[in-house]
DNA sequence: TGTTCGTACGAACGGTCGTTCTATTTTCGC
DNA sequence: GCGAAAATAGAACGACCGTTCGTACGAACA
């Protein structure tokens, strides 16, 4: 079975993820990537057969890493509110845990591909929906555990967490707002407080 | 004074805005744009002198249109909460008011340029900061008018509105969530309710 | 030892990019 | 209407794109 090849391919995917974080999945160039990794263009290309396949594999690699560094550790936290908190904290730390110097690759890809039909958009949408469903599931468990009020809408909660994450990404990266992290946490605390309090 | 040239340039900028909405500011291609507008590549190019200048002008054009269709109409609403609401509603309608088939051009540009130093990033950041400041100003007026509680942080409010807008953009475009609009409104109502209520 | 196969390389392809140059057409004040 | 100036077109450039092809190296297996 391919031993050396697998190592190389993983190294390529790691480089592709970092590169995509900066220039987007579509902005990746086989020339740039091969130069950065000291490989030949054709040698790198041979591992994937097409650019689209490289993009797809990079997306898959990112999803696997995300599961490793934010989903799985959160499962170690107790069910209910603590786990919801762990997911949020993991979300904020994910672009540094798996180095993405240009910001979350899913955010970049979402904006790039939200109107470009094809397998990449399809897979990306799937990944995002899974994340959404997982987050909503954790919220539902928090309701069942009595941490959150029973008439809370988990999907709505997930929607708003998504918004906080995106606003944080935006404020910290483009706006260089030093208070971005603090703002994100305050927003999340307000959200949790509203979820905890009995119906007004 | 340039008469014909100005008309052409405006038509180019309108086309560039629509195109940038789909493929991003960097994704714009002079060939694509000239073909779409039935102009020659060199003829179009002559209006701007460089691609970067075209991008910068497109960004400026978008900012001017944004001021026209969301900021100015909101000024017609009474100060305080109504104006804050008008700004939020205008924000959600802006990509359809000024046709952007691929979604808000500022969102696309923000993700593309948040880590690409240069005049485009600088100008984009300025535009976004102005919007943030304007929104926060409207919130401050709502506090002064007694609509919102006096210890509300206008910047925090603006941060969260930003998040709702981004989450809505994301949910409606990539995820094809039919409830995205409803969710955005519910999130906004919760935000306003929290701003209105006396400190818990 | 010889053969095979997985792996990487170098050269080249047609195509498109942003840009430059030189003409040609169109506009507009006189 | 005329002539200057502005506006547009056309061809070409070097660079880089994704992709293909033929080939060389190295290890595994006969």
Q: What angle do CA B112, B118, B120 make, to 5 degrees?
A: 60
Query: Which single residue has its CA nearest the C1' atom of nucleotide D26?
Result: A4
Q: Give per-residue pLDDT as tens, A47-105.
A: 999 999 999 999 999 999 999 999 999 999 999 999 999 999 999 999 999 999 999 99
B107 vs A: CB within 8 A: yes
CATH number at residue A74: 1.10.357.10
Q: Report the number of distinct structural domains present in chain B.
A: 1
C-alpha A182/C-alpha A168 separation (Å) is 9
C-alpha dihedral, B24 to B25 to B31 to B35, nearest 10°: 70
Residue A65 lies in a domain: yes
**Residue B11 covered by a domain:** no
- Distance, angstroms, CA B184 to C1' C12? 54
Task: State chain B's mean pLDDT as an integer.
Answer: 96
Measured between alpha carbons, how far is B97 from B74 in angstroms, rounded to an integer? 14
Q: Say whether pLDDT at B199 is over 60.
A: no
Q: What is the pLDDT of residue B4?
A: 77
pLDDT per residue over A10-46, tens digit each?
999 999 999 999 999 999 999 999 999 999 999 999 9
Dump pLDDT digits (tens) for B140-180: 999 999 999 999 999 999 999 999 999 999 999 999 999 99
Nucleotide whose C1' lies closest to the alpha carbon of residue B37: D8
**Domain contains B172:** yes
The verdict on residue B18 lying in a domain is: no
Strand D bases within 7 angstroms of protein beta carbons: 6-12, 16-22
Instruction: Please name the residue whose C-alpha is nearest to the C1' of nucleotide C27.
Output: B4
How many Å apart are CA B101 and CA B91, to the nearest integer? 15
Domain, as residue range, for B159: 55-196
Q: Is B152 on the interface with A (CB under 8 A)?
A: no
Closest-approach nucleotide to residue B44, Cα vs C1':
D8
Q: Is residue B45 part of a domain?
A: no
- The string of pLDDT tens digits covering residues B80-129 is 999 999 999 999 999 999 999 999 999 999 999 999 999 999 999 999 99
Q: What is the mean pLDDT of residues A142-152?
A: 97
Domain membership of residue B10 (yes or no) is: no
Output the six-digit token pair for A120: 């990449």
Query: CA-to-CA distance for B193 and B200, rounded, in angstroms?
Result: 12
Residue A6 pLDDT level (bands cut at 50, 70, 90)? confident
DSSP H helical ranges for chain B: 4-23, 30-36, 41-46, 51-66, 72-75, 81-97, 105-113, 119-144, 154-173, 180-196
Residue B81 within any structural domain of the chain: yes
Determine which of B160, B178, B196 to mutate to test the interface with A (most A C-beta atoms within 10 Å). Answer: B160
Is B142 within a domain? Answer: yes
């Amino acid at each position: 079975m391919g031993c050396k090849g697998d190592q190389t391919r993983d190294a390529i995917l790691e480089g592709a993820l970092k590169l995509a974080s900066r220039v987007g999945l579509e902005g990746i160039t086989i020339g740039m990537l091969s130069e950065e990794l000291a490989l030949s263009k054709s040698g790198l290309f041979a591992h994937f057969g097409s650019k689209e396949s490289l993009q797809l594999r990079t997306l898959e690699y990112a999803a696997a890493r995300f599961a490793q560094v934010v989903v799985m550790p959160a499962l170690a936290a107790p069910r209910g509110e603590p786990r919801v908190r762990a997911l949020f904290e993991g979300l904020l730390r994910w672009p540094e845990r798996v180095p993405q110097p240009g910001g979350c690759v899913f955010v970049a890809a979402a904006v790039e591909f939200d109107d470009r039909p094809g397998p990449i958009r399809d897979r990306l949408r799937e990944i995002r929906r899974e994340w959404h469903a997982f987050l909503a599931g954790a919220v539902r468990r928090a309701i069942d555990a009595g941490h959150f009020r029973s008439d809370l809408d988990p999907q709505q909660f997930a929607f708003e967490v998504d918004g906080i994450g995106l606003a944080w990404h935006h404020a910290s990266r483009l706006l260089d707002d030093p208070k971005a992290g603090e703002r994100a946490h305050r927003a999340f605390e307000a959200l949790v407080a509203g979820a905890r309090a009995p119906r007004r």
